[in-house]
Chain A
C-alpha cells in the first residue's frame, strides 16, 4: 500500500507502485531544485550584507533601506 495519495482526474486513490516510485523521484528532484533556489537566495543575501557591512549602517538603517 502506497504512502502517497493521488487525486487522479477527480478520483482519490492510493498511488500504484509505479506512481510511488515516480513520485519518490519527483520529491528528490524537487528537493534539489529547492536547494538550488535557497543557495542562490543565501548567496545574494550574503553579498547584500557584505555591502551593508562596508557602508557601516545600523540595523535600523538597513531595515529602513530595504523596506
Chain B
C-alpha cells in the first residue's frame, strides 16, 4: 500500500475532533486504494461515507482512475478516435505490398496513409483482398486533377484496380485513402487524395479518386502496388473508432 492509500472514506459528525491522520486523509484529493477490495471496504462502515454516484477512486494495483456511476465502478479510459491496425511498415524498392487480416468488425471505416516515391513512371494502386487473394474487378472512380492552371476530370469504370497515387516519380508524394466498410459484404466506398509534384517540388499537384469497389464482398486485407518500376516509402492503416 502506497503513502497516499487510504482504508477509510470518513463521514464526520458535528463537533468531532479530527486527527492529523484524518485531515491528511481528506486532503489527498481522489482517494487512493491499494486494490478494489480495500476500496469496497472503505465505504459504508461505521464512520465511513455511504458509497454514492460520483465518487472517485484511484487503484494502485492497476494504476487506474475510477468513478462510481450509482451501481458500479467504471474505469476512466480515453477511447482514441483512430487506432492503428497495421503498424507503419517500411517499403523499399518493392513492386507490391500485402497487408492481410487488417479489416475486422472492430471498425467500420479505415484510413490508409502512404508516403511514397515511385521509381519510373506509373501509379500507385490498391486492390482489396480476402483470404490472401486480391480482387481484380469492379473498381470505379471519378477523377479530379489540379495541375498547374489545369483542372481536369474524368471517369474510370470497371477498372482492375483503384488508383490512389500518381506523379510520385522520384519525388516525395503522399496519399490519404479512406475505405468505408471494406469488411462488410457490400460495396466499398473509397476516397483517395494524393499530393505529388510535377517534375519539381515547387510544382505541386493534387489528384482525387473518389469512387468504389462495387463487388459485395467482405474483405480483410489490401494490396498496394505500382505500375512503375517499384515504390519506396511507408504506409500504415488505422481504424476509426465506433464509440465515444
**Contact A5 B95, CB 8 Å, known A27-B227, A30-B125, A33-B156:** yes
Tally A-B pairs: CB < 8 A: 70
Q: Report if B159 contacts A (CB, 8 A).
A: yes
A10 and B96 contact, CB distance less than 8 A: no
Decide if A6 touches B149 in the complex (CB within 8 Å): no
Q: Is the CB of A7 within 8 A of B149?
A: no
In chain B, what residue has the closest Cβ to A29? Answer: B160
- CB closest chain-B residue, reference A36: B156
The yes or no answer to B217 lying at the interface (CB within 8 A) is no
Closest chain-A Cβ to B140's Cβ sits at a distance in Å of 11
Contact of B143 among A8, A32, A37, A45 (CB under 8 A): A37
Asked if A66 contacts B151 (CB within 8 A), the reply is yes
Within 8 A of A (CB), among B111-133: 123, 125
Interface residues of B (CB under 8 A from A): 89, 91-100, 123, 125, 136, 143, 149-156, 159-161, 225, 227, 230
Partner of A6, one of B89, B96, B160: B96
Shortest distance in angstroms between B158's beta carbon and chain A's nearest beta carbon? Answer: 9
What residue of chain A has the Cβ atom nearest to residue B160's Cβ? Answer: A29
Whether A26 contacts B93 by the Cβ 8 Å rule is no
